[in-house]
């Protein structure tokens, strides 16, 4: 029996997930919260997360942009353009790190504004995706889950801009 690893996700699943992420990011007006493992974020085909965060940060000073990752150093080396945007906009984009347990499946939680959310999970070669664009109750639950993890995370040391 030939079992696939987590890295063997079918390309069409990744493309579908990347397209869903981009659709939600296009609708973002004020809030973008992302909780993910860097490996999963890097596996998605060219999402426009960097552009969406920069656009929302420029649009309003009341933006709420948060990135919660498992390894900020991996994000910095694997997605240097996103890391550069984060470091250029340190007052607009907050970054924290939260290392998941070893047996936790790789997942991505995206919370956009007050109505939209996306949950992507990959485990043992399988991918699950749920996208809701008009679900205030689901968005509230996803935001609560994100907030719990955010509170447990620590401030990123790699993705901060140090003033000298």
pLDDT exceeds 60 at position 1:
no
Q: What is the pLDDT of residues 30-82, one digit of tens each?
A: 999 999 999 999 999 889 999 999 999 999 989 999 999 999 999 999 999 99
**Domains: count for the chain:** 1
Q: What is the pLDDT of residues 97-126, one digit of tens each?
A: 998 887 788 999 999 999 999 999 988 878
Structure-model confidence comparison of residues 15 and 123, the more confident one: 15
164 part of a folded domain: no
Calpha distance 12→83 (Å, rounded):
26
Q: Is residue 111 in some structural domain?
A: yes
**8 Å CB contact between 21 and 44:** yes
Say how far residue 95 (Cα) sits from the centre of its chain: 11
Residue 5, domain member (yes or no): no
> pTM, whole model, 2 decimals?
0.89
Query: What does the alpha-carbon distance between residue 161 and residue 89 come to, in Å, rounded to a whole number?
Result: 9
What are the DSSP calls for 62-98, one per residue? T-EEEEEES-HHHHHHH-HHHHHHHHH-TTTEEEEE-
- Residue 160, domain member (yes or no): no
Instruction: Please report, for the domain that includes residue 77, its CATH number.
Output: 3.30.870.10
Q: Which residues lie across from 107 on neighbouring strands?
A: 121
Consecutive H or E run containing 109 = strand 106-112
pLDDT over 70 at 162, yes or no: no
Residue 163 is assigned to a structural domain of this protein? no
In a domain, 1, yes or no: no
In a domain, 128, yes or no: yes
Q: Is residue 3 a part of any domain in this protein?
A: no
Helices 49-59, 80-88: crossing angle, 10 deg rounding: 10
What is the domain extent for residue 91?
11-153
């Amino acid at each position: 029996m030939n079992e696939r690893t987590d890295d063997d996700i079918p390309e069409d699943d990744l493309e579908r997930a990347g397209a869903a992420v981009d659709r939600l990011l296009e609708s973002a007006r004020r809030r973008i919260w992302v909780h993910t493992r860097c490996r999963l974020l890097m596996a998605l085909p060219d999402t426009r997360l960097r552009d969406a965060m920069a656009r929302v940060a420029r649009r309003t000073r009341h933006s709420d942009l948060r990135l919660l990752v498992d390894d900020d150093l991996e994000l910095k080396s694997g997605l240097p353009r996103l890391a550069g945007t984060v470091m250029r906009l340190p007052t607009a984009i907050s970054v924290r790190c939260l290392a998941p347990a070893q047996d936790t499946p790789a997942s991505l939680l995206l919370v956009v504004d007050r109505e939209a959310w996306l949950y992507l999970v990959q485990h043992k070669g399988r991918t699950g995706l749920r996208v809701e664009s008009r679900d205030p109750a689901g968005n509230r639950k996803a935001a609560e889950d994100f907030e719990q993890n955010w509170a447990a995370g620590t401030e990123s040391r790699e993705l901060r801009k140090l003033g000298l």
